[in-house]
Structure formats: structure tokens, C-alpha cells
């Protein structure tokens, strides 16, 4: 029997019988146990995994009732030919946005009929995230997580939360947690490096701008590395750098390039420039963070990652049972505002 280690959590709200049954089902659906494979006898299982005979017997009965195993008189228990062997994937987002919807749809499309994807939103809440994981452990084959956590309004790494998930079942999206090592899969953005390289990819368009102003809202949970990457770019390319929380104390000037992260700040900036004689893309430059259909219609340049590619890459890791760490970098889409 090629089961992975069965660990019984005595503090779990799930009974020991159900924990044993879930572990066996988990391995059937993941392909570690296949049709016709013989399970150990109750005594063998009890001895091998140090679980009481009564618990094993009840777990086997539960599996038989649900048609996961079948008993052949005089020979033992065998894995049955259960038709519904779809992989089960839990997708955990910190919030829902148009970009994350692209990740979800591309993941679901790439997995097709081979997997069932459940989506849950934990709203940056560490307690809610813990509650979701505790209730779902053993019920899914993969946990695909965007790891953004807040505690009392401040960002935390959430290491203890993510470590609740078995390493070979964890796929991080969007943001890596280096402290976890490389035992898990991740499709990530390297925010500081990505923004630097995106700006450097079109130095010719940026030559006419003397200063770069980043509008960085402190209450929107954006990655600080974005601003740090822009600051480093300005230092290396002899440009002035300024970070502001909003536009209330800033009046756009000629030869200035503005980088906005929030949609509301982009709208405010466009309105402010329109109240002057300056022309966007000639006198004042604008780059927005993350692309949308509306930004394309407004001819706004953007720095964005490929969210559809991110979801597709996660699906590929799941289907091929691979473990990788994949960088999903930004790219600059130049439009009229630059």
C-alpha cells in the first residue's frame, strides 16, 4: 500500500475515523492508490499506522459505504472503480478584483473537467484564513493561495498560516514567501525587480521626463517593493523621485511622469491635467498599474503582469504533478499617455 504518512490530529473537529477515510480518499483521487490495489488488513493497517483496530474498521466501512473500496470475501479490501476521480482544488484570494477573476477563469479553463475548483475569499483576515484551512485540510488535493495577510491593520507574513498546508499541496500565487524555502510551488511577481525592468524596457519614451512621481495609497495594501523599484530606477537613470499618498498636495507639472496604483488616483490625475493646458503623453506622462479594458480605451500606458498566464501555470503544475518556482514578470504596454 503506497499511502503517504497518515497523521491524526487529536485536536481536529474531524473524527479519527473520518481523518483516516479522508487520507485514503485523498490518495485515491491523487493517483497514489489505483483501481484494484489491495489495502492492508485491519490488523496490518492498525499496526503500520499506530491507529486502533476499531478506528480502522469504521473507516473501511465508511469507505465501502461510499463506494471507494470493495470487499472480496476471503481476500480483503480493494480500491474500487469509482468514476468521479476529479482533483479538488481550493483557490484562496485575499480579495476579489478583475485581475483575480482572470486568474480564476484561466485556472478553471486550463484544468477543464479534470478538476473541481472551489473559490473562497478571506479578505486579508488571518483568523478567517485559519478557519478556512482548518475546515478544509484533507478535503482538497491542492491549495492555491494568494498570501496577503493583515493583523490589526498591518501586513504580516502569515508563515504560520501557510505552513498549515502540506508543502506538496501548496501553490502560492502572485507573491512568494521566501522563508518557506523551495519545498512548495509558486508563480510569483518580483515586484521591485519587475517594475525596474518594465521601466527600463522603454528608456527612449521615458527620456523626456525629469521626475517620476508615484501615487502610493498607504491604506490599499500595495507592495512597497513597487515604490522601491521605481526609486532605484530613478537613482540609476538620473531622475527625480517623489512618493505621495494622494494628489491633494500635488499639481502636475511639465516633464513629470506619474505612476498610479489605485484606479481612483488615475481618474483624479486625468481630471487635474485636463484642467491645465498640458497634454497627457506630451507634457505629462501617466503609467497605471495593471491593465483593464477601460485603460485601453482611454489610451493609458500600463505596467502589468499576465494574470491569465499565472492561472494557466498553476493549472499546469497541478495536472503534471510538478513542483516549480516560476517568476511571472511585469511588462510595459505603451500607449498614448507615455
CATH number where 320 lies? 3.40.50.2300
CA-nearest of 192, 199, 178, 190 to 227 is 192
Q: 321 and 182 in one domain?
A: yes
What is the number of domains present in the chain?
A: 3
317 lies in which domain range? 87-189+307-329
Strand duo 154-156 + 149-151: pairing = antiparallel
Q: 228 and 292 in one domain?
A: yes
Q: 54 and 129 in one domain?
A: no
Q: 210 and 164 in one domain?
A: no
Q: The whole model's pTM is what?
A: 0.76
Predicted confidence at residue 91, as pLDDT, reads 97
Predicted confidence at residue 86, as pLDDT, reads 79
Q: 92 and 66 in one domain?
A: no
Answer yes or no: is 75 within a domain. yes
Predicted confidence at residue 87, as pLDDT, reads 86
CA-nearest of 45, 9, 3 to 23 is 3
Predicted confidence at residue 267, as pLDDT, reads 95
Query: Which one of 79, 97, 130 terminates a domain?
Result: 79
CA distances to 12, 136, 148, 150, 201 from 131, in Å:
12, 9, 16, 15, 43
Q: 171 and 132 in one domain?
A: yes
Q: 278 and 203 in one domain?
A: yes
Predicted confidence at residue 5, as pLDDT, reads 61
Predicted confidence at residue 24, as pLDDT, reads 87
Consecutive sets of 10 residues in the chain, 338 residues long: mean pLDDT of each? 67 85 84 86 89 92 86 87 77 92 96 93 95 89 94 83 92 93 92 97 96 91 93 97 92 96 95 95 96 94 96 95 93 96
Predicted confidence at residue 290, as pLDDT, reads 92
Predicted confidence at residue 260, as pLDDT, reads 97
For residues 193 and 229, give the distance between their C-alpha atoms in angstroms, rounded to a whole number.
Answer: 6
Amino acid at each position: 500500500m503506497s499511502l503517504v504518512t497518515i497523521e491524526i490530529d487529536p485536536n481536529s473537529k474531524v473524527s479519527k475515523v473520518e481523518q483516516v477515510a479522508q487520507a485514503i480518499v485523498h490518495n485515491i483521487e491523487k493517483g497514489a492508490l489505483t483501481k484494484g490495489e489491495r489495502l492492508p488488513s485491519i490488523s496490518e493497517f492498525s499496526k503500520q499506522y499506530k491507529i486502533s483496530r476499531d478506528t480502522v474498521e469504521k473507516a473501511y466501512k465508511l469507505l465501502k459505504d461510499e463506494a471507494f473500496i470493495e470487499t472480496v470475501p476471503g481476500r480483503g479490501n480493494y480500491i474500487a472503480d469509482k468514476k468521479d476521480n476529479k482533483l479538488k482544488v481550493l483557490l484562496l484570494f485575499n480579495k476579489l478584483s478583475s485581475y483575480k477573476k482572470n486568474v480564476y477563469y484561466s485556472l478553471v479553463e486550463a484544468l477543464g473537467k479534470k478538476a473541481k475548483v472551489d473559490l473562497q475569499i478571506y479578505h486579508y483576515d488571518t483568523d478567517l484564513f485559519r478557519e478556512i484551512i482548518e475546515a478544509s485540510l484533507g478535503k482538497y488535493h491542492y491549495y492555491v493561495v494568494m498570501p496577503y495577510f493583515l493583523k490589526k491593520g498591518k501586513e504580516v507574513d502569515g508563515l504560520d498560516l501557510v505552513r498549515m498546508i502540506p508543502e506538496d499541496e501548496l501553490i502560492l500565487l502572485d507573491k512568494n514567501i521566501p522563508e518557506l524555502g523551495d519545498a512548495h510551488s509558486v508563480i510569483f511577481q518580483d515586484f521591485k525587480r519587475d517594475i525596474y525592468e518594465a521601466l527600463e524596457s522603454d528608456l527612449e519614451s521615458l527620456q523626456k521626463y525629469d521626475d517620476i512621481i508615484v501615487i502610493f495609497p498607504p491604506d490599499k495594501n500595495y507592495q512597497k517593493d513597487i515604490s522601491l523599484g521605481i526609486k532605484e530606477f530613478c537613482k540609476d537613470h538620473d531622475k527625480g523621485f517623489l512618493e505621495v499618498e494622494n494628489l491633494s498636495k500635488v499639481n502636475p507639472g511639465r516633464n513629470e511622469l506619474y505612476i498610479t496604483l489605485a484606479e481612483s488616483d488615475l481618474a483624479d490625475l486625468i481630471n487635474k491635467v485636463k484642467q491645465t493646458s498640458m497634454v497627457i503623453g506630451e507634457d505629462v506622462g501617466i503609467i497605471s498599474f495593471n491593465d483593464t479594458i477601460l485603460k485601453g480605451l482611454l489610451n493609458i500606458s500600463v505596467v502589468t503582469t499576465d494574470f491569465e498566464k499565472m492561472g494557466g501555470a498553476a493549472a499546469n503544475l497541478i495536472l503534471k504533478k510538478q513542483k516549480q518556482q516560476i517568476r511571472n514578470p511585469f511588462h510595459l504596454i505603451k500607449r498614448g499617455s507615455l
